């Protein structure tokens, strides 16, 4: 059914745990009847008006902690918490500023997209902008001479930048305000603090990586000074994992800004970006994570234990709550499939967890590196994709108005594809990505299982593997076989993917993993088939893969599994003695075409049948044995009726167009089979 497209990787919303703003507005009468005794919101918000700075700080810190339980958020929003916390950002007490900003940050992180949009509507951006400008002025102010005071200002700035990042990631209105009031320079100033305060710089880099994605209006604000700051970060050499993450985010930001780079610096910048991604992927998490855990044990043995109250400071997420971040994540529809939101709140880890922070930074850096490579490989032409919904982030829409004086658009994906592929090959990126598709090493998994604080890293390691598989799919979809090492390398990769899927007693059921590995397998098998390279999957493996996919809720998993059956079957149809295997494949495809609830999957199964049984003696024999012609004649009116009944409201125009083509092809294929029968 056409080629499998590599699609652009959209950064997920920061967090969507908890109730959206609309749920607050539509609160049940039962919840509205709750008195102040059952909800701490009223009392805490009242304390914000206290003349005592200590009381105000306590109230803000308490709100920051309480809203991490998402069920409490409606009670705060119903009582106008955003408007009442907003002025606290400019409180006369620096401690109140920090805790108030932390409270709003946690509200934005735990409340989700609609809560963020609601916060922007309540004008939180006005005091936040003023606070950020004051913080940056305080970085080098002569009146600030003591180190403690400087750190306090930077701590406030860190909370403020994180709040800004959350809002801009979730709200287009916040992003518009960011552009209009010129917050780019403020965030860049925070990034420049990386030699003194890497935590603040990482927050700024996260924010920049978000706001520069698909934001042509911002590209006009770029100047050589901004590019210089990013390049300085990229060329820094500190070995810590936090600095690795910082360089990775700077690399992603420079890639987002590719259309605004001066022509003379494009090749050099591209090389520096890919070099940093390569170094990041070289890091061995299987070795480093056990080493970091061991270092933590040594440090704790040699230091007095910190009191619990200090360990879980107000406004910071206790580490043992981190294990629940994935389980609580709701699913959102993305391109017709359910997708988990990436709820990474690792930057809320309490102080005193340096090794865990380093391990988290390492995994975040590797995940981000893989996502950047996906975006480098992706096509921005939505017409290439038959099934995916049209992307809202087509950089080709930028046009001349998106360019600044003295810069060039030569670095567009279409113009630079050869240079990008050359850079990726020269740094052995395909081989390094393939290495990252391996299951996390047992030693690293064991140390994380053994310590509650480190358990959240297990899902992060698994996510790096899934991102690597998605990245491999992108590479396979955009590079030729020769540049990937030829037949031997492709067969080795196919054997590796088969081991990932079939190496255990049963096929893994994790949806994120299945979605990624099957898409990579489809791309690889397409390339192998096009080069007439022998397949490595047995008929039994094919059937077990089909069976596992049938029970998966993710549509793309079922689509790709069906496509794999079609690719393998059409290859086998050219060989002698394959009729029995073709019958197995044909029956499996007929079952999916008939029984799957999704029209897209039905269509893919029919298209695969057309490919498998299009030609050849083995295919003719198999078609007769499984009664393919009468089965398709029975299915034809049902398929047409299903398109008529469900099509318009449920599927995109692109999907309907493809389904209409399949409907026409089904009629023609039935005609072809009728001629074969009459032979």
**Residue 385: which of 434, 336, 332, 331 has the closest Cα?**
336
How far apart are the C-alpha atoms of 428 and 450, rounded to whole Å? Answer: 35
What are the pLDDT digits (tens) for 65-83? 999 998 999 999 999 999 9
Which segment of 376-380, 402-406, 413-417, 609-613 scores lowest on mean pLDDT? 402-406
Longest dimension (CA), the chain: 96
Write the Ramachandran bin of 399: left for phi over 0, alpha for psi from -120 to 50, otherwise beta.
left
pLDDT of residue 36: 44
pLDDT of residue 149: 56
How far apart are the C-alpha atoms of 109 and 345, rounded to whole Å? Answer: 8
Length of the chain: 679
For helices 628-650 and 579-595, the axis angle rounded to 10 degrees is 40
Count Cβ atoms below 10 Å from residue 229 Cβ, excluding itself.
Answer: 18
> Residue 466 pLDDT > 50, yes or no?
yes
With b for 16 or more beta-carbon neighbours within 10 A and e for fewer, the 650-659 pattern comes to: ebeebbeebb
pLDDT band at 450 (very low <50, low <70, confident <90, very high): very high
- Would you say 144 and 138 are in contact if contact means Cβ atoms under 8 Å apart? yes
> Residue 401 pLDDT > 60, yes or no?
no
**Residue 169: which of 342, 50, 337, 321 has the closest Cα?**
342
Which segment of 169-183, 367-381, 413-427, 597-611 scores lowest on mean pLDDT? 413-427
Tell me how far the alpha carbon of residue 293 is from its chain's centroid.
Answer: 27
Q: Percent of the chain beyond pLDDT 70?
A: 80
Count Cβ atoms below 10 Å from residue 484 Cβ, excluding itself.
Answer: 18
pLDDT of residue 237: 92
pLDDT of residue 76: 94
Q: 546: buried, middle or exposed (CB in 10 Å: 19+, 13-18, 0-12)? A: buried
Which segment of 401-410, 491-500, 628-637 scores lowest on mean pLDDT? 401-410
Sign of CA dihedral 175, 181, 182, 188: negative
> Residue 194 pLDDT > 90, yes or no?
yes
How far apart are the C-alpha atoms of 191 and 230, rounded to whole Å? Answer: 8
pLDDT band at 294 (very low <50, low <70, confident <90, very high): very high
pLDDT of residue 25: 39
226 HSE (CA, 13 A, CB side): 23
Q: Using H for helix, E for strand and C for coil, what is the string for 364-376?
A: HHHHHHHHHHHHH
pLDDT of residue 260: 87
Write the Ramachandran bin of 45: left for phi over 0, alpha for psi from -120 to 50, otherwise beta.
alpha
How far apart are the C-alpha atoms of 627 and 324, rounded to whole Å? Answer: 51
> Residue 404 pLDDT > 60, yes or no?
no
pLDDT of residue 351: 63
What are the pLDDT digits (tens) for 314-372? 334 433 333 334 433 333 333 333 333 444 444 455 567 899 999 999 999 999 999 99
Beta-ladder partners of 331: 340
User: What are the two backbone dihedrals, phi and then psi, of residue 332, each rounded to the nearest 5 degrees?
Assistant: -120, 155
User: What are the two backbone dihedrals, phi and then psi, of residue 264, each rounded to the nearest 5 degrees?
Assistant: -70, -20
pLDDT band at 643 (very low <50, low <70, confident <90, very high): very high
pLDDT of residue 9: 56
DSSP string of 385-400?
-SSSPPPS--GGG--G
Angle at 18 between CA 13 and CA 20, to 5 degrees: 75
How far apart are the C-alpha atoms of 495 and 489, rounded to whole Å? Answer: 10
How far apart are the C-alpha atoms of 306 and 351, rounded to whole Å? Answer: 11
- Would you say 576 and 567 are in contact if contact means Cβ atoms under 8 Å apart? no
Which segment of 399-403, 472-476, 594-598, 630-634 scores lowest on mean pLDDT? 399-403
Q: What is the mean pLDDT of residues 46-57?
A: 96
pLDDT of residue 162: 97
pLDDT of residue 385: 37
Structure tokens at 467: 């991102």
**Residue 313: which of 16, 38, 57, 109 has the closest Cα?**
57
- Would you say 76 and 63 are in contact if contact means Cβ atoms under 8 Å apart? yes
pLDDT of residue 35: 44
Contacts of residues 661-667 at CB distance under 8 Å and 24 or more positions apart, as own/partner, are 662/1, 662/603, 662/606, 662/607, 663/639, 665/606, 665/607, 665/610, 666/606, 666/610, 666/632, 666/635, 666/636, 666/639, 667/636
pLDDT band at 540 (very low <50, low <70, confident <90, very high): confident
Question: If you average pLDDT over every residue of the chain, what do you get?
Answer: 83
Q: What is the mean pLDDT of residues 226-251?
A: 95
> Residue 584 pLDDT > 80, yes or no?
yes
528 HSE (CA, 13 A, CB side): 25
Q: What is the mean pLDDT of residues 136-148?
A: 64
**Residue 316: which of 116, 70, 103 has the closest Cα?**
103
What are the pLDDT digits (tens) for 155-173? 999 999 999 999 999 999 9
pLDDT of residue 148: 55
pLDDT of residue 8: 62
């Amino acid at each position: 059914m056409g080629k499998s497209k590599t699609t652009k990787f959209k950064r997920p919303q920061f967090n969507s745990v908890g109730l959206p703003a609309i749920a607050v507005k539509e609160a049940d009468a039962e919840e509205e009847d709750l008195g102040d005794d059952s909800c701490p919101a009223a009392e805490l918000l009242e304390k914000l008006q206290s003349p005592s700075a200590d009381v105000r700080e306590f109230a803000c810190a308490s709100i920051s902690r309480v809203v991490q339980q998402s069920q409490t958020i409606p009670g705060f929003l119903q009582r106008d918490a955003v408007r009442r916390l907003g002025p606290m950002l400019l409180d006369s007490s620096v401690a109140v500023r920090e805790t108030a900003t932390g409270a709003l940050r946690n509200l934005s992180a735990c409340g989700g997209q609609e809560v963020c949009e609601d916060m922007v509507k309540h004008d939180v951006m006005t005091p936040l902008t003023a606070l950020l400008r004051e913080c940056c002025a305080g970085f080098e102010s002569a009146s600030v001479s003591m180190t403690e005071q400087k750190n306090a200002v930077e701590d406030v700035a860190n909370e403020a930048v994180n709040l800004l990042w959350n809002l801009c990631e979730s709200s287009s209105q916040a992003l518009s305000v960011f552009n209009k009031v010129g917050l780019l320079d403020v965030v860049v100033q925070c990034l420049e603090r990386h030699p003194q305060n890497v935590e603040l710089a990482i927050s700024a880099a996260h924010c920049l990586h978000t706001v520069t994605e698909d934001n042509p209006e911002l590209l006009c604000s770029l100047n050589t000074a901004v590019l210089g700051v990013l390049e300085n970060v990229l060329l820094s050499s500190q070995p810590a994992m936090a600095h690795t993450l910082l360089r990775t985010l700077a690399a992603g930001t420079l890639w987002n800004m590719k259309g605004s780079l001066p022509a003379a610096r494009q090749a050099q910048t591209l090389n520096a970006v890919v070099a940093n991604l390569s170094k990041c992927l070289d890091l061995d998490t299987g070795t480093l994570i056990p080493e970091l855990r061991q270092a933590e044990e040594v440090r704790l043995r040699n230091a007095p234990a910190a009191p619990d109250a200090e360990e879980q400071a107000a406004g910071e997420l206790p580490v043992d709550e981190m294990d629940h971040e994935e389980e609580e994540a709701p699913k959102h529809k993305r391109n017709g499939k359910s997708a988990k939101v990436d709820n990474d709140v690792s930057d809320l880890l309490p102080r005193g967890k340096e090794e865990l922070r380093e391990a988290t930074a390492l995994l975040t850096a590797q995940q981000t590196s893989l996502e950047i490579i996906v975006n480098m490989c992706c096509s921005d032409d939505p017409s290439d994709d038959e099934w995916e919904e049209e992307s809202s982030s087509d950089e080709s829409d930028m046009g001349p108005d998106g360019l600044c004086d003295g810069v060039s658009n030569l670095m567009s994906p279409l113009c630079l594809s050869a240079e990008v592929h050359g850079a990726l090959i020269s740094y052995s990126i395909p081989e390094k990505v393939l290495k990252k598709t391996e299951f996390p090493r047992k030693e690293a998994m064991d140390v994380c299982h053994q310590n509650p604080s480190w358990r959240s890293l297990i899902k992060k390691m698994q996510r790096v593997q899934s991102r690597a598989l998605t990245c491999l799919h992108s590479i396979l979809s955009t590079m030729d076989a020769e540049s990937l090492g030829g037949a031997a390398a492709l067969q080795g990769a196919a054997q590796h993917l088969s081991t990932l899927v079939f190496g255990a007693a049963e096929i893994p059921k994790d949806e994120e993993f299945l979605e990624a590995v099957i898409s990579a397998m489809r791309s690889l098998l397409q390339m192998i088939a096009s080069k007439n390279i022998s397949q490595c999957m047995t008929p039994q493996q094919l059937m077990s893969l089909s069976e596992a996919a049938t029970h998966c809720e993710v549509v793309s998993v079922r689509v790709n599994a069906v496509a794999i059956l079609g690719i393998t079957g059409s290859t086998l149809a050219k060989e002698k003695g394959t009729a029995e295997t073709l019958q197995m494949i044909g029956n499996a495809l007929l079952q999916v075409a008939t029984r799957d609830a999704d029209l897209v999957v039905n269509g893919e199964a029919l298209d695969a049948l057309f490919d498998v049984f299009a030609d050849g003696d083995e295919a003719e024999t198999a078609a007769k044995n499984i009664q393919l012609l009468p089965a398709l004649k029975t299915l034809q009116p049902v398929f047409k009726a299903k398109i008529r009944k469900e099509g318009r409201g449920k599927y995109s125009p692109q999907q309907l167009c493809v389904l209409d083509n399949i409907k026409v092809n089904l009629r023609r294929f039935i005609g072809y089979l009728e001629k074969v029968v009459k032979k």
